[in-house]
């Protein structure tokens, strides 16, 4: 069985039990990176990537914005408090709201990536995922004045 060396990332400087992280605000949760579990289907605009037409100059494919993730009970002045995990809101577009909660994974998962600048098969740990956000209820309708702007 082939094996690949996995190294700790140089960017993982934050202690594993810390609640702060350096993720971009688009992905940032108070506990770091989390999996999202939806009991639904997200319908996105039909978009077919044809050869190199839809690929940007940097080689990336355009992304579809699903919505805004909000933690209404989170207070940055009390980072050790976990009450915020009971209420997570996902605004989909301007007219739908999913309510969910943060749950701890039974076993933490490592997100790995190819090591920067490496031509070998060496991988590095990019992030440790300890939580998942579960949305198990049907979406609720909301008005334009309630949904946050994207």
As a whole number of angstroms, the distance between CA 62 and CA 30 comes to 27
Contact 126, 7 (CB under 8 A): no
**Beta strand segments in 26-122, E:** 34-38, 67-70, 88-92, 96-114
pLDDT number for residue 150? 52
Is the pTM for the entire model greater than 0.75?
no
Mean pLDDT score, 116-122: 72
Tell me if residue 84 falls in helix, strand or coil. Answer: helix
Q: Enumerate residues 6+ apart whose C-beta is below 8 A from 66.
A: 42, 44, 90, 92
pLDDT number for residue 106? 94
Residue with tokens 């979406």: 139
As a whole number of angstroms, the distance between CA 128 and CA 24 comes to 16
Q: How confident is the model at residue 130 (pLDDT cuts 50, 70, 90)?
A: confident
Q: How confident is the model at residue 44 (pLDDT cuts 50, 70, 90)?
A: low
Strand partners, 102: 133
Structure tokens given for 48? 């077919």
What pLDDT, in 10s, does the model give residues 65-75? 677 888 888 88
User: What is the share, in percent, of the chain residues with pLDDT greater than 90?
Assistant: 4
* Mean pLDDT over the full length of the chain: 73
Report in angstroms the alpha-carbon separations of 120 from 61, 116, 123.
Answer: 25, 10, 9
Q: Enumerate residues 6+ apart whose C-beta is below 8 A from 93.
A: 67, 147
As a whole number of angstroms, the distance between CA 52 and CA 97 comes to 35
């Amino acid at each position: 069985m082939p094996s690949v060396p996995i190294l700790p990332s140089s960017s993982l400087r934050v202690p594993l039990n810390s609640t702060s992280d350096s993720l971009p605000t688009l992905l940032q949760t108070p506990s770091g990176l989390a999996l999202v579990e939806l009991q639904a289907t997200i319908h996105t605009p039909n978009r077919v990537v044809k050869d190199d037409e839809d690929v940007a100059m940097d080689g990336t494919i355009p992304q579809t914005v699903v919505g805004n993730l909000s933690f209404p009970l989170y207070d940055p002045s009390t980072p050790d408090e976990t009450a915020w995990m009971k209420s997570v809101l996902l605004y989909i577009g301007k007219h739908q709201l999913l309510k969910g909660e943060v749950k701890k994974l039974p076993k933490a998962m490592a997100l790995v990536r190819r090591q920067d600048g490496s031509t070998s098969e060496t991988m590095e740990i990019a992030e440790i995922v300890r939580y998942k956000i579960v949305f198990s209820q049907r979406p609720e309708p909301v008005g334009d004045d309630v949904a946050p702007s994207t």
